[in-house]
Structure 1
Amino acid sequence: MVLGDDLSDDEVLRQFLCIHFPHKASPMAMRAMSAPRVVEGLTRVIGPNVKSMQSMLFIKAEGRPGQAWHQDEHFIPTRDRSLTAAWIALDDATVENGCLWVLPGSHARGVLYPERVQRDDRFDCTGEAHSFPYTDADAVPVEVPAGAAVVFNGYLLHRSLPNSGAHGLRRALVNHYMSAESLLPWHDDGEPFAVSDHRDIVLVAGEDPYAYKGTTDLARPGSRPDKQGGCDR
């Protein structure tokens, strides 16, 4: 990666695939996490009490890879299946520039499918879900204009394909939320799974039944560089 005063903001941005926890560094990203229109939708699908634990800014420049099939709940476990993503398009998201693709109904059973290492250059260096009862032919593209939000359950199988390069960047701000009533056994803190509760959270609606525990400030914003060659071999 090359950083320097002689590079424009756009040139710097194009060197990264993802900025993790931007709400920890950007007041604008923090405000977006609690945006009234987004929170209104979240309270309809989650309930009156909603907390957030993660934000990610995805930057998909021309020719850059997407992500293989996965379920968010595989990475962020909740105890009540309430994990919900709000995927906010910062540019028009189209098939050509690598919009989301989803497998409709794949969340309904609440089944987490196994993951394996993938070596497909179309995708970033991540695992992929497999052995689910769907094919790529069942997938539906989710094309949305800039400013629109796609809200979906943590068990939904979804992926994105590379940016073809025809229409510039495809940026998206993705925040993850869940019911404040549920404990969040996200990281191994030495506690039994049943009572483990990650407290680096932001309450965005209603009340936190576990407010007596206080909150922590553990996660730090960081970047994922664009390796531009698929996964390391």
Structure 2
Amino acid sequence: MDAKRLQIIHSHLRSGRKQLVPENTIAKEFRYTIDGAGILTHEQRRFYEENGYLVIKKLIPPNEIEMYRQRFEEISKRQVTIPGMTIMKDVSIAKSEHVEGEKAITKIQDFYNDPVLFSYCHNARIHQYVESITGSNIMAVHSMLINKPPDTGKKTSRHPLHQDLHYFIFRPADQICAAWTAMQRVDRSNGCLVVQPGSHKAGVLKEHGYPQWEGGVNKLYHGILDYEPNAPRVHLIMEEGDTVFFHPLLIHGSGTNVSDGFRKAISCHFASSECHYIKSADTSHSEAEKEVLEVVRRKLGADVDVSWEDVSRWRFRLVKGTRINL
């Protein structure tokens, strides 16, 4: 065989060598964010990948924050009634008949039928960041306005360390994202969020339950039962309009409000509509499912035959793109 023919054969072998390596064996730089989606910069993606959260300063303008605040006041004064919405009280005042207005409400959930508050979940400023995590088909799967009260001394205003995936029976977790916006300055004095950076990377949903706190625990405020008390924590000091995005496996909670005022924040969880439901039986979700269905049956009737997936499909709302599975 002449030298020229050998050179040609060698050239073909070299050019074909890349095809011998399957594409899925090549390490990706990013796991938790999507290439070419949303507006996250390279550095922001790296921070989210490493830490499981990302704070965007002044994302929501003051006029929108004031709109949410006024709507909360209207709801607390019973000037408006929103179908399907859940109003929660702190366990320390839950049975009191003498607490009214803002002081009576700890949290509003599921405000998908209120055009004012739900406009937060439709906010394009938020979507442009969420899309980097969920993709372009976005469902709003949970909504809250939190009104953390000044603590009565029983420390019931704190929220135990937990993972939000505990409350969701669909996957994959990496295509779920929370957006949480401070409606005022939030710091350690009024119970800011506290996170364990990088805790999402373990990829494990831990066992949850009610902590054994002397003063009691609010309904559905489940906490991780075997959390590591010495794990590094970061307290998120935020100004009005600042928004934190975080992964559903990130371990987080919030401290006691030792200030004289209420601490307000508005939040929505988003997920790709391409996520799929899982069966909750014999999983760590089973206890949460029981409590969720108890709440639903109190509203709809004790004999109603409904599953957690049914409730989820009913509550979830498409906010961008196409509804596929959820």
With the shorter chain as reference, the TM-score category is 0.7 to 0.9
- Note if 1:101 corresponds to 2:190: no
TM-score (norm 1): 0.75
Instruction: Choose which of 166, 191, 194 in structure 2 pairs with 1:74.
Output: 166
Q: How many equivalent residue pairs?
A: 201
State the alpha-carbon separation in 2 of the partners of residues 145 and 79 from structure 1. Answer: 32
Unmatched runs of 5 consecutive residues or more in structure 2: 1-75, 80-98, 281-288, 294-305
Shift of 1:14: 1.7
- 2:316 corresponding residue in structure 1: 201
Alignment deviations for residues 21-46 of structure 1 (CA, whole Å, 9 cap, x no partner):
1232x211111111111111100122
Structure 1 residues 158 and 4, CA, compared in 2 at 3 Å: closer, same or farther?
closer
- 1:41 corresponding residue in structure 2: 129
Alignment deviations for residues 83-125 of structure 1 (CA, whole Å, 9 cap, x no partner):
2111111111111110000011111122011123213238535
State the alpha-carbon separation in 1 of the partners of residues 78 and 317 from structure 2. Answer: 33
> Hey, which of these two has a bigger chunk of strand by percent?
1
- 1:142 corresponding residue in structure 2: 236
- Note if 1:165 corresponds to 2:259: yes
* Aligned 8 A contact 2:191 2:256 in 1: yes
State the alpha-carbon separation in 2 of the partners of residues 83 and 23 from structure 1. Answer: 18
State the alpha-carbon separation in 1 of the partners of residues 168 and 277 from structure 2. Answer: 8
Structure 1 residues 210 and 74, CA, compared in 2 at 3 Å: closer, same or farther?
closer
- Note if 1:124 corresponds to 2:226: no
- Note if 1:87 corresponds to 2:162: no
State the alpha-carbon separation in 1 of the partners of residues 142 and 78 from structure 2. Answer: 29
Instruction: Choose which of 9, 17, 23 in structure 1 pairs with 2:112.
Output: 23
Shift of 1:15: 1.3
* Aligned 8 A contact 2:139 2:318 in 1: yes
State the alpha-carbon separation in 2 of the partners of residues 4 and 144 from structure 1. Answer: 30
State the alpha-carbon separation in 2 of the partners of residues 116 and 137 from structure 1. Answer: 20
Shift of 1:200: 2.9
Aligned residues: CA RMSD: 3.1
Shift of 1:143: 1.1
Runs of 4+ in 1 over 6 A off after TM superposition: 2-5
Larger radius of gyration: 2
- 1:227 corresponding residue in structure 2: none
